[in-house]
Structure formats: C-alpha cells, structure tokens
C-alpha cells in the first residue's frame, strides 16, 4: 500500500490537506445547542391541539377586553321595546327578556370568569404544593413527621367534607358579595384537591432509589423536594392544574347558576344560563346557547392548551 | 391498629365539622322567622323561637344539638312544620343515592375504559377519538348539558321521559348528565398514568415472557396506573354530590340536594346542618376507604411509619 511502503524519513506532507473553512463552519452549525426553552416552545408549536387551544384562549381574552365596545350596547342597559329578539345585525347574540344585549353580557361575563379562574387557580397551586409536599414528604419519616402529615390531612379532610356552598355563603355574609369573595371562597376549598394529588405523588416518589441515594449523599430536604420530587411530580401537577383553572371557571358559573355567585346586574355566564332555563323550551335558543357555548369553549381551550403543555413539560411523557 | 387510629380521627373530624357548621350557621345574620316577623305577634314569635331553642344562648343550643345528634336525631325542620330533618333526608336519600351511585359507577366504568383504550392506541385514531370525547365531556358543564338533554332527548325527539320521578327510565338522563364530566376526567387521568406505566420495565418483562396483552393491561397496567385515579375519587365524589344540586334542580328530582339548596335560602338551620353532616359522614367514610385501598393496590405505599 502507498502509505506503508513510504519510508519514514520521507516527508508525509502529501497526506495532509488544509482544512476547508466553509466545511468547518457547517459542522459547528450542525451542533449548535438549542436553549431548552426554545426547544420546548418548538415542541409546543408543533402540537396542533395546543396551538388551537392557545389561539382560542387569546381570542376569548381579546373579545373579553374589546367585545362589549364593538356594539353600542351596555351589558346592563335594559330596553323594554326590544325584548327576546333573536340574533340580528343590531344584536349579534340577540337580546334577553329585559332587552339587554346578549353579546355585551356574554363578554362582560367572560371578564369575570377569566379573572376568577386565573386568580383562584394560582392560589390553589401555591397552597396545594406547599401543603401536599410537606405532608407527603414528612409522612413516615418520624413520629413528628407523621403528626404533621396527620394534622395537615385532617385539615384537608375537613375542608373536603364541608360542602363548599356553605363556605361561600358564610363569606358572602362576612365579606361584601362580589368577585373577590368568590376568589377567596373558591380557593379556600379549591387547594385541597391539588394538595392530595401532590401528597399521593410524594408518597410514591420518595420510595424511589434516587431519593434514597440523594438523601444518603447528604442532600438537604429542601433540595430533595425541589430538585427531585417536585420535578418528577410535575406531570401530574400540571395535568391537575389544567383542570384547576377551568374548574374555578366552572364553579363560578355553577354558583352563579344556583344564584349564589355574582349578583345582578353583573352579567355572568352562569346567571345567563340560569335565566334561560325557563325559555329554552319555547325556542329562545340563543339565551342558553351563547353563554353555554362560551363556557364550553373556554374550558376546551384551557384543556387543549394544558394537554400540549404537559406533553412538552413532563420529562416522562412520550409523544 | 392503623384502622382503629383512623376510625378515631374520623370521629374527631366529624365533630370538628359539626362544630364548624354550627358556628357558621349561627353567624349568618337573620333568623328563620325574620321574613314574616311583622305579621306575627311578638309573643307568638317568642314561642316559635323557644320551640326551636333559638331563644337559648348559643352554647346551650350547641350542647342540645350534640346530645340529639348522639341519638341520630337531626331535629325538626323549621320550614316544613310537620316533618323533621331525618324524614327529609330519608325521603330524599333514595333518589339522590340512586342518582349518585349510578353516575359514579358509569363514570368509573366508562372513564377507565376510555382512558385505557386511548393509552393502548397511543397517537393512533382510537386515542384521538377517545380524547376528543373526553375533551367534550370536560368542556360541557352538566347545567348546560342537562337543559339540552331535556329539550332534545325528551321533548323534541321523545326518547326518554323527564319531569317526573317514577321508573328507572327517568333516572337515565340525569345520570348521564351527572356522569359526563367525571367520565372525561377519569379517562384523562387513566390515560396519562397508563402511558407512564406501559413504559416501565416490568411491562417489558411481562411482554418478554409472553403474557397475553389483556393480562398485561389488567394485572400490571391498570393496577399500577390507578393510584393517581384513586386520589381523584374523593373530589369526584364531592363533585357528584354538588352536581346533584343542579341536576336535581333542573330535572325536578326530589333528592337531598334539592332540600339542601332550598334550606340555604330559607335559613332553615336544622336542615342545613343535617344535610351537611349527612354529606360529611358519607364523604369522610369514602376517603377512609380510599386511603385503605392505596395499600391494596400498591404495597410500596406505607400507611404509617410503624406499618409494614
């Protein structure tokens, strides 16, 4: 062969070539690392359902912001000459039995639903992770740990067992009825579900070998909780959160539907649906359809987006 | 030992609930006779208050109530003068329990089926169809679905009867309306957790040793994926209970939920307390059973530091 037959004292220069710079550039480009968040966003965008959900959410928020001003009707303005009109160019979603514009009332209701949903879910998440995390992590660790777990779980159990309508009625008496009362009332009982889910995950995860390894290597409790347990529970926590926001929105409409939520003349999807019960059989479909459709669409949007988010954020979810 | 301890804390929990409910009820301003107080002479009013112990100090009322409770006497109803709370609950129990249990069973059965099918056909047509159905179920609240069911299924197409409570056929629409959201939620939980389980080593082992798919799914898959689902049964039960409030209202079903909602607006203390305590007992016992069942499903979960 050519190379082996060459004597060692002969120059080997002909075997070496100057590197083609452009090729080198190509190689570095191929190995450029993508920041993690960019990668996550790219994955999220690839998920059609998540994109549809996000787009719908943005649309609902936009319409909640500007919707009422697109038509010259106030959500609470009555007009007794224009009652029970079907949808038309003048009233896009029709009018109700007091002549109020259903379009304006629907978007005024959207503002209330979104505000209550976001605020209550945020509070639920924080309290739920703290309580569930502490409880699940401490259980079985020591006598003291068991006691803490037991106390926290009794509180959770009690809150579970009192129908939340009672809590809300109490708060409506102590505080001024309204949106803030609703948020407080929903989160006073709402965090309980999150806490139980987090605790269940903690109980399961802390038996795993990597937690044992970490603790034997002297990792602090806080680090084990935040670096090992919570990230591994994130999937279930996010699945639960995608229920928490629409669940709060649902509860608001549910209570308003029963007549315990926001009070007249404030419009809410729940009160609008309740008002339409009597007229649905007589054919005024728009009174139930629009608020009902918006509740469903909002919940669909949140769930679709949450699902996509879960596929991206949960390290163990397999696409 | 663990069971005895839990039973004891269960009783404490119930006592706390009774006390809290009692205090909350009496913090509400206005009493049951406030509305017609002008029409009734003061002396009569006094007598009426005395009849329901409302003239006594709060502490005495509380002790009296606890005493009656020990003999399972929930006291008289203020609104309906002839019946007591026990009778009201007994009367409403059958429709409510029937409705609740039927829809829980439907939800568990359909939800686990739907979720398992979706997980087994991950990212294929059946997965998308199941999850789309689940998505619809989550998105449409029962109080929107119920009027639509009445309008189309009952009135327009005349498929099923409503507006009465007699035969089993009358329970079908309300049961369905109540179960739709839980079905969807359970299906999603089961799918997520089943997907996770299906990628575990022991599933591969089971496949490798040639177990039939149904055995892998039932024995190894479902059993391991039911833990997150279990922690959801508590809230599920609570949501079915509160769901009965609207569903019973919309379908005009004479259940406990209806009495409960009515009693809140009427400030009928004994009925509010009675129904609250009743719901609490059922819920606390359910949670207790769920806690116990964790262990049967996954022995790795320790119930207490001394156990196992």
The average pLDDT across A43-63 equals 85
Mean pLDDT value of segment A261-284? 77
Mark which residues 155-174 of B lie under 8 Å from A by CB: 155
- The enclosing domain of B170 has a CATH number of 1.10.3720.10
Note whether B305 contacts A303, CB cutoff 8 Å: no
CB of B182 within 8 A of CB of B111?
Answer: yes
Provide the pLDDT for residue A226.
83
Closest CA of chain B from A154, distance in Å: 7
Distance CA B232, CA B226 (A): 10
Tens of pLDDT, residues A204-241: 888 888 888 888 898 888 888 888 888 888 767 876 77
Test the A interface: residue of B5, B203, B235, B265 with most A CBs within 10 Å: B235
Q: Determine whether the interchain pair A295/B196 forms a contact, defined as Cβ–Cβ distance below 8 Å.
A: no
Burial grade of A319 (CB within 10 A; 0-12, 13-18, 19 or more): exposed
- Among A230-234, B78-82, B88-92, B143-147, which stretch is predicted with the lowest mean pLDDT? B78-82
Nearest to B135 among A141, A243, A303 (CB): A303
Mutation test of the interface with chain A: which of B115, B231, B295, choosing the one with the most A Cβ atoms within 10 A? B231
Which residue, among A131, A160, A161, would best test binding to B if mutated, counting the most B CBs under 10 Å from its CB?
Answer: A161
- Taking the CA of residue A121 and the nearest CA in chain B, the distance in Å comes to 16
Shortest Cα distance, chain B CAs vs residue A104, angstroms:
20
pLDDT at position A127 is 92
For residue B271, is pLDDT > 70?
A: yes
Residues of chain A contacting B200 with CB distance shorter than 8 Å: none
Residue B189 has a CB neighbour count (10 Å cut-off) of 27
pLDDT band at residue A177 under the 50/70/90 scheme: low
Q: What is the pLDDT of residue B305?
A: 39
Q: Kindly state the percentage of chain B with pLDDT values over 70.
A: 85
What is the percent of chain A where pLDDT is above 70? Answer: 81
What is the number of domains present in chain B?
Answer: 1
Calculate how close chain B gets to A310, using CA atoms only, in Å.
10
CB distance A301 to A33 below 8 Å? no
B113 touches chain A (CB under 8 A): no
C-beta of residue A95 within 8 angstroms of C-beta of residue A79: yes
Q: From A180, A181, A164, select the one nearest A172 (Cα to Cα).
A: A181
Q: How far is CA A57 from CA A45, A47, A52, A186, A314, in A?
A: 15, 16, 9, 22, 22
For residue B253, the model assigns a pLDDT of 82
Domain of residue B200 covers: 94-297
Rounded to 10°, the helix A48-70/A36-46 angle is 80
What pLDDT is attached to residue A163?
A: 59
How close, in Å, is residue B20 to chain A by CA atoms?
9
Q: B129-140 burial, b for 16+ CB within 10 Å, e for fewer?
A: ebbebbbebbbb
pLDDT at res. A1 = 46
* C-beta atoms surrounding B37 within 10 Å: 11
* Facing A295 at nearest CB: one of B144, B192, B272: B144
Q: Alpha carbon A99 to chain centroid distance?
A: 36
Chain B residues within an 8 Å CB radius of A169: 28, 264
Residues on chain A touching B185 (C-beta within 8 angstroms): 243
| Closest to B185 (Cα-Cα) out of B259, B241, B239, B263 | B239
Does residue B140 sit at the A interface (CB-CB below 8 Å)?
yes
Phi, psi (deg, nearest 5) at residue A95: -130, 165
Q: Scanning every residue of chain B, which has its alpha carbon at the shortest distance from the alpha carbon of A233? A: B228
At A303-319, the pLDDT tens digits run 888 777 777 765 555 44
Asked whether residue B279 is assigned to any structural domain, the reply reads: yes
Mean pLDDT of chain A: 78
Other Cβ atoms within 10 Å of B1 Cβ, number: 8
CA atoms of B193 and B228, how far apart (whole Å): 7
User: Taking 60 as the threshold, does the pLDDT of residue B299 lie above it?
Assistant: yes
Whether B135 and A160 lie within 8 Å, measured CB to CB: no
Give A157's contacts in chain B (Cβ within 8 Å). Answer: 13, 284, 287
* Nearest beta carbon to residue A204 from set B16, B29, B227: B227
* Placement of tokens 């047509």 in the chain: B125
Distant-in-sequence, close-in-space partners of B161: CB < 8 Å, separation ≥ 6: B154, B167, B169, B170
CB crowding A47-84: b at 16 or more within 10 Å, else e? bebbeebbebbeebeebbeebbeebebebeeeeeebee
d(C-alpha B247, C-alpha B144), whole Å: 10
- Interface probe for B, chosen from A163, A291, A299 (most Cβ of B below 10 Å), is A163
- How far, in Å, are A151, A231, B18, B214 from residue A155 at the CA level? 6, 26, 14, 41
What 8-state DSSP symbol labels residue A71?
A: S
pLDDT at B307: 35
Q: Is B57 helix (H, G, I), strand (E, B) or coil?
A: coil
Please count the residues of chain B: 308
Q: Report whether the peptide linkage leading into residue A265 is cis, meaning its omega lies within 30 degrees of zero.
A: yes
Q: How many CB atoms lie within 10 A of CB A284?
A: 19
Domain assignment of residue B13, yes or no: no
Residue B81 covered by a domain: no
Is B231's CB within 8 Å of A318's CB? no
In this complex, the residue of B27, B135, B196 whose CB is nearest that of residue A300 is B135
pLDDT at position B308 = 30
Query: Considering only alpha carbons, which residue of chain B is nearest residue A201?
Result: B228
- Is B157 inside a domain boundary? yes
**Structural tokens at position A319:** 């696409």
**Do B277 and B74 touch, CB atoms closer than 8 A?**
yes
pLDDT for B29 equals 61
* pLDDT score, position A208: 86
- Of A253, A263, A236, the residue nearest A299 (C-alpha): A253
**B80 part of a folded domain:** no
Residue A319 has a pLDDT of: 42
Q: What is the pLDDT of residues A117-148, one digit of tens each?
A: 889 888 999 999 889 888 888 887 788 888 88
- Cβ contact, residue pair A235, B13, below 8 Å: no
User: Rounded mean pLDDT of B104-121?
Assistant: 89
B132 lies in a domain?
A: yes
Nearest-CB residue to B155 (from A274, A277, A281): A281
A248 Cβ contact list (under 8 Å, min separation 6):
A116, A117, A120, A121, A124, A186, A190
Residue B51 lies in a domain: no
Beta-strand (E) ranges in chain A? none
pLDDT value at residue A175: 64
Q: Which of A124, A159, A164, A166 to mutate to test the interface with B (most CBs of B within 10 A)?
A: A166
Q: What is the spatial distance between Cα B277 and Cα B204, in angstroms, rounded to a whole number?
A: 48
Average pLDDT over residues B124-143: 86
Contact A303 B139 (CB under 8 A): yes
Q: Could you read off the pLDDT of B21-69 as tens digits, one per residue?
A: 788 777 666 566 655 555 667 777 777 777 767 777 778 888 888 888 8
DSSP letter assigned to residue A96: -
Across chain B, mean pLDDT equals 78
What pLDDT is attached to residue B306?
38
Whether chain A has a CB inside 8 Å of the CB on B234: the answer is yes
- Residues of chain A with C-beta less than 8 angstroms from the C-beta of B122: 318
How far apart are the CA of B259 and the nearest CA of chain A, in angstroms?
Answer: 13
> Considering the domain boundaries, does residue B36 fall inside one?
no
């Amino acid at each position: 062969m050519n190379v082996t037959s060459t004597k060692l004292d002969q120059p080997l220069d002909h075997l070496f070539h100057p590197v083609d710079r452009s090729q080198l550039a190509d190689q570095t480009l191929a190995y450029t690392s993508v920041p993690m968040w960019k990668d996550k966003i790219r994955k999220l965008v690839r998920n059609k359902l998540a994109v549809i959900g996000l787009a719908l959410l943005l649309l609902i928020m936009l319409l909640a912001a500007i919707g009422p001003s697109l038509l010259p009707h106030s959500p609470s303005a009555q007009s007794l000459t224009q009652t029970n009109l079907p949808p038309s160019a003048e009233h896009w979603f029709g009018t109700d039995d007091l002549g109020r514009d259903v379009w304006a009332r629907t978007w005024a209701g959207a503002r209330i639903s979104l505000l209550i949903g976001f605020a209550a879910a945020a509070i639920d998440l924080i309290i739920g992770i703290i309580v569930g995390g502490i409880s699940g992590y401490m259980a079985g660790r020591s006598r003291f740990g068991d006691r803490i777990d037991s106390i926290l779980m009794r509180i959770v159990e009690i809150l579970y067992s009192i129908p939340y309508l009672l809590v809300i009625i109490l708060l409506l008496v102590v505080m001024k009825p309204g949106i803030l009362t609703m948020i407080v009332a929903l989160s006073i009982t709402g965090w309980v579900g999150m806490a139980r889910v987090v605790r269940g995950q903690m109980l399961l995860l802390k038996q795993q070998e990597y937690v044992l390894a970490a603790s034997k290597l002297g990792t602090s409790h806080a680090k084990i909780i935040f670096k090992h347990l919570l990230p591994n529970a994130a999937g279930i926590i996010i699945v639960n959160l995608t229920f928490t926001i629409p669940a709060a929105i649902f509860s608001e409409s549910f209570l308003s539907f029963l007549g315990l939520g926001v009070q007249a003349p404030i419009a809410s999807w729940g009160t609008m649906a309740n008002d339409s019960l009597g007229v649905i059989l007589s054919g005024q479909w728009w009174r139930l359809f629009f608020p009902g459709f918006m509740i469903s669409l909002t919940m669909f949007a949140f769930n679709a987006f949450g699902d996509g988010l879960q596929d991206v954020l949960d390290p163990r979810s397999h696409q | 030992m663990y069971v005895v301890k839990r039973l004891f804390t269960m009783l404490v929990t119930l006592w706390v609930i009774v006390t809290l409910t009692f205090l909350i009820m009496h913090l509400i301003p206005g009493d049951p006779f406030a509305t017609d107080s002008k029409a009734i002479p003061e002396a009569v009013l006094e007598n009426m208050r005395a009849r329901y112990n409302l003239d006594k100090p709060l502490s005495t009322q509380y002790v009296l109530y606890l005493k009656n409770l020990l003999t399972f006497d929930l006291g008289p109803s203020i609104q309906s003068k002839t019946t007591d709370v026990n009778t009201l609950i007994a009367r409403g129990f059958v429709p409510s329990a029937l409705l609740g249990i039927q829809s829980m069973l439907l939800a568990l059965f359909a939800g686990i089926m739907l979720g398992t099918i979706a997980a087994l056909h991950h990212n294929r047509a059946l997965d998308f169809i199941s999850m789309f159905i689940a998505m619809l179920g989550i998105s449409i609240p029962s109080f929107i679905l119920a009027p639509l069911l009445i309008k189309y299924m009952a009135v327009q197409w005349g498929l099923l009867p409503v507006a009465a409570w007699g035969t089993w056929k009358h329970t079908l629409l309300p049961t369905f309306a109540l179960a739709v959201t839980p079905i969807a939620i359970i299906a999603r939980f089961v799918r997520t957790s089943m997907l996770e389980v299906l990628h575990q080593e022991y599933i591969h082992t089971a496949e490798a040793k040639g177990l039939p798919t149904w055995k892998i799914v039932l024995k190894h898959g479902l059993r391991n994926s039911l833990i997150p689902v279990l922690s959801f049964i508590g809230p599920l039960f609570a949501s079915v209970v509160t769901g009965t409030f609207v569903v019973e209202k919309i379908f005009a079903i004479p259940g406990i939920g209806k009495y409960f909602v009515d009693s809140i607006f009427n400030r009928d203390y004994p009925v509010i307390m009675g129904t609250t305590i009743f719901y609490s007992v059922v819920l606390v016992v359910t949670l207790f059973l769920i806690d116990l069942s964790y262990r049967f499903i996954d022995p790795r979960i320790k119930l207490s530091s001394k156990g196992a």
